Chains A and B, each alone.
Chain A
Amino acid sequence: GQNIDQPTEMTATEGAIVQINCTYQTSGFNGLFWYQQHAGEAPTFLSYNVLDGLEEKGRFSSFLSRSKGYSYLLLKELQMKDSASYLCAVGLRTDSWGKLQFGAGTQVVVTP
């Protein structure tokens, strides 16, 4: 089976940096995805890691260690609009259709 763990909630101030950790245990692995979801809206794709290392995209970076079953999403220069839930999702190698298993999400609250 699959087990994906991430913190429930994190609070940080505007301009700061926040790191959201995600650990996973899966029977198959085909990449680690991060999505952002604002309340009442659908998720939007942020990043994808399939190899170990750091992927940087502007203020957002994502890291993966496959041997440790670990990823993190780093949000820099936090803005108020970054207040949202961040979903870690694992792509399942056993499924050829790109099925994802989602974590419960981390609610990030950015304060002034």
Chain B
Amino acid sequence: GAVVSQHPSRVICKSGTSVKIECRSLDFQATTMFWYRQFPKQSLMLMATSNEGSKATYEQGVEKDKFLINHASLTLSTLTVTSAHPEDSSFYICSAKQTNQPQHFGDGTRLSIL
């Protein structure tokens, strides 16, 4: 149980492109989903917390207009990196959880902006 699917696993695109990443909880309804980014050999940095049907809560320093989060249902959250630039290249990971359960992570999306 507790399977989280993240798609796509890898994206390579030109500067200025917008990229959408999907995060799905396959066998449970997620009360909350989280979005992280991770630079090489560094830890996970929380970007935002997402609850179904409400606006995401962004961490300090994360631009909400740059990283659009939509949480349309209890099993799906999307992160859109708008007008991506090379400095946005990173490993983006989502996680999902139920009440009183640990976070379970998707397989991550490696984003490379040329």
Chain A interface (Cβ < 8 Å from any Cβ of B): 33, 35, 40-45, 48, 87, 95, 97-105
* Binding site secondary structure of chain B: strand
Number of B residues near A (Cβ < 8 Å) is 21
* Binding site secondary structure of chain A: loop
Q: Which 6 A-B pairs have the closest CB atoms?
A: A42-B105, A42-B108, A104-B43, A97-B32, A102-B43, A102-B44
- Given known pairs A42-B107, A42-B108, the reply for A98 and B97 (CB within 8 Å) is yes
Contacts of B89 in A (CB 8 A): none
Minimum CB–CB distance from B49 to chain A (whole Å) comes to: 5
Cα separation A99 to B33 with both chains bound (whole Å): 10
Contacts of B93 in A (CB 8 A): 42-43
Contact of B107 with A45 in the complex, beta carbons under 8 Å: no
Contacts of A105 in B (CB 8 A): 43
Chain B interface (Cβ < 8 Å from any Cβ of A): 6, 31-32, 34, 42-44, 46, 49, 51, 91, 93, 97, 102-108, 110
- Given known pairs A41-B108, A42-B108, A97-B32, the reply for A33 and B102 (CB within 8 Å) is yes
Contact of A45 with B34 in the complex, beta carbons under 8 Å: no
| Chain B: CB-nearest residue to A6 | B43
| Chain B: CB-nearest residue to A100 | B103
Contacts of A42 in B (CB 8 A): 6, 93, 105-108
Contacts of A101 in B (CB 8 A): 46
Contact of A45 with B108 in the complex, beta carbons under 8 Å: no
| Chain A: CB-nearest residue to B44 | A102
| Chain B: CB-nearest residue to A105 | B43
- Given known pairs A97-B51, A99-B46, A102-B43, the reply for A45 and B97 (CB within 8 Å) is no
Contact of B44 with A87 in the complex, beta carbons under 8 Å: yes
| Chain A: CB-nearest residue to B102 | A45
| Chain B: CB-nearest residue to A43 | B105
Contacts of A98 in B (CB 8 A): 32, 97, 103
**14 additional contacts, CB 8 Å, given A100-B34, A102-B46?**
A33-B103, A35-B105, A40-B91, A40-B110, A42-B105, A42-B108, A43-B105, A87-B43, A87-B44, A97-B49, A98-B103, A99-B34, A99-B49, A103-B43
